[in-house]
Structure 1
Amino acid sequence: MAQITVIGSISTDFVVETKKLPMMGETVEGEVFRTSFGGKGANQAVASARLGAETTMLGAVGTDPFGNELLKNLEKNGINVNDVERVTHSSGSAFITLVDGDNSIIYVPGANGAYMPEMLDRVIEEEKVFQNSDLVLVQNETPVDTVEHLIRRCNEIGIPLLFNPAPARELHSSLIDQVTFLTPNETECSVLFPGEDIETVLAKYPNKLIVTLGSRGAVYHDGQEIQRIPSIKVEQVVDTTGAGDTFNGAFAFAYASGLNLHDSIRFGNIAAGLSIQKAGAQTGAPTLEQVKEHKDFEKEWDFK
């Protein structure tokens, strides 16, 4: 069984569906309001766990009622939360506006911003979770010092690390060299590599840099040429929130389960395509059985 550790944000999503985004100073009428579980870290953990990975979550939630519910949700999805920290900050939150299936988001870190390097070190030194991990995932909704510390520690220990640099911020090239996979979208890629075209950057980081392109799939360089892997065809897009997280969690599961890089991206694209046909960042993440039912699933992909 694939063993995956996710370090990252655990948040509550407050979602409004409307036909029009308000301009500054304008009030518009919303059609639907709902709350759901989110946070890029939690989303990726749920995506991998739902597919069958033995998944451990590291991060922080508040001591407020939201924190209690966030932990219950992760446990319900079969995720180990024994080392999630409880802090005095409010639990993280995201305010999401949906218009015609596309989203805009305001993220409030709260407790997620309180997950410090020393908290991470306690787990590394006292537990075997890192040493037993097939792959570690992290995103940018965790403090920059903690992310950079994690990259260095994983490199020291020899544990493969997938870094999803979202939301985008600068990253020193020495740290890029230490990660196993880097998975920005197009916008995040332009922040990481300002002034450089995507083909040049892909060639610079073969079999490491995977750029997700939304409805156009994903691209990477295999050391010889650029490989373009299309997304699956989707009849109706319901909610794109969490699609990138589902891709990362599914890619991690596939790679940790023994698929090669190319097929792991294909698998991630299937899972992401299925996720946008349901509402919610986590509720749309498919099970392995649902992915297997899709026509693009290859029967030779043997998941135990």
Structure 2
Amino acid sequence: MTSIVVLGSTNMDLVAYVPRAPALGETVTGRAFRTIPGGKGANQAVAAARAGGEVAMIGAVGADDFGARLRAGLEHCSVDTDLLRTAEGPSGTAHIVVDDEGGNAIVVVPGANGTVTSLDHGDEALIGTADTLLLQLELPLSVVVEGAATARRLGVRTVLTPAPAQPLPPELLATIDLLVPNEHEAAALTGLTDPREAALALLRDVPEVVVTLGAAGSLYAVRGADPVAVPAPRVRAVDTTAAGDTFVGALAVALGEGRPAPEALAWAGAAAALSVQREGASTSMPYRTEIEAVFGSLGETEDRDEKETDSA
């Protein structure tokens, strides 16, 4: 079983479901409201655990009811929370509006996440036991840089989701093995709107890049080879919240198991396709048996399409 450590955020998602998102200054009537455990770090931890990884979480929750619920939610998904700190004050929150097309807009208030500014000895030791360290940018940048440098020193694969998008310092990029932006983050990092061009530009700083493209799938780029497009299953999206985190968590498991990159991306794409058909963040994330079923059906579809082409 592949071992994954997540250094990242935990938030309580406060989700309002609306026919359409309000314009500035406008009020709309929602059809439902839910509180759902989330945060990019916790989401990736849950996704990886459900996909079959052995997962531990480094971060912080607040000394409030949300904090207790966030910790319990991770533990319920078999994520090790021994090094998940409890900080004075409120937990992080994400205020999310989801429209009837499955699109979302999000405001994140860091809360306890902002207190995680450096690693302690226990954190370093835990990272050293992992195959992969997953990182995002909802914690202070100082600890992200430290975490990546620690993983590099200990020979642990580093995977960074550069979200929320911000300029990445050279010392961080120098320690990242795989960068996984979505197409908007890739554009923000490079100034290039074409995902292929953006991926190639990012290869100047990191050895491997995966640009996620939503319903269009993903694009894999590695130095010395042409980028490879990997399509996604066609599904009707209900809620795209945390689809990217589901993808990254599943991808970390697939790569840790030694799957070739294109196969790993297709497997992770199957996980993301399942998640967008359900409401919520962590609550939408599929289990390994579900991912395998969809992934298997992709192979059957490809075989059927090839046979139909041969007989035409």
Length-normalised TM-score, structure 2: 0.90
- Other-structure match for 1:164: 161
| Aligned-partner Cα distance in 2 for 1:198–1:21 | 27
Unpaired segments ≥5 residues, structure 1: 299-304
Q: CA RMSD in A?
A: 1.6
| Aligned-partner Cα distance in 2 for 1:86–1:174 | 29
- Other-structure match for 1:122: 121
- Other-structure match for 1:264: 264
Identity %: 38
- For residues 160-194 of structure 1, the C-alpha deviation after alignment (integer angstroms, 9 at most, x for no partner) is 11000111000134422321110001111122223
- Other-structure match for 2:175: 178
| Aligned-partner Cα distance in 1 for 2:156–2:32 | 43
- For residues 211-258 of structure 1, the C-alpha deviation after alignment (integer angstroms, 9 at most, x for no partner) is 111111111224321100111111x21110010000000000111111
Amino acid at match of 1:113: G
| Aligned-partner Cα distance in 2 for 1:196–1:102 | 20
- Other-structure match for 2:298: 296
State the Cα distance separating 1:269 from its structure 2 match.
Answer: 0.5
2:225 paired with 1:224: yes
Name whichever of 177-186 and 188-197 sits farther off: 188-197
- Other-structure match for 1:68: 68
* Distance of aligned partners of 1:169 and 1:38 in 2 relative to their CA distance in 1, 3 Å threshold: same
More helix by share: 2
State the Cα distance separating 1:198 from its structure 2 match.
Answer: 3.8
Structure 2 residue matching 1:55: 3-state secondary structure: strand
Q: Is the contact between residue 161 and residue 181 of structure 1 (CA under 8 Å) also seen in structure 2?
A: yes
Q: Is the contact between residue 186 and residue 199 of structure 2 (CA under 8 Å) also seen in structure 1?
A: no
Structure 1 residue matching 2:208: 3-state secondary structure: coil
- Other-structure match for 1:109: 110
| Aligned-partner Cα distance in 1 for 2:197–2:213 | 16
| Aligned-partner Cα distance in 2 for 1:23–1:277 | 26
Amino acid at match of 2:247: F
State the Cα distance separating 1:207 from its structure 2 match.
Answer: 5.4
Amino acid at match of 1:50: R
Length-normalised TM-score, structure 1: 0.92
State the Cα distance separating 1:146 from its structure 2 match.
Answer: 0.9
Unpaired segments ≥5 residues, structure 2: 301-312
Alignment of structure 1 residues 203-242 onto 2, 5 Å: 203-204=200-201, 205=203, 208-222=208-222, 223-234=224-235, 236-242=236-242
Q: Is the contact between residue 5 and residue 57 of structure 1 (CA under 8 Å) also seen in structure 2?
A: yes
Structure 2 residue matching 1:107: 3-state secondary structure: strand
- Other-structure match for 2:147: 150
Q: Is the contact between residue 62 and residue 88 of structure 2 (CA under 8 Å) also seen in structure 1?
A: yes
| Aligned-partner Cα distance in 2 for 1:201–1:23 | 30
Q: Is the contact between residue 138 and residue 147 of structure 1 (CA under 8 Å) also seen in structure 2?
A: yes
| Aligned-partner Cα distance in 2 for 1:198–1:50 | 29
Q: How many residues align?
A: 293
Structure 2 residue matching 1:283: 3-state secondary structure: helix
2:279 paired with 1:279: yes
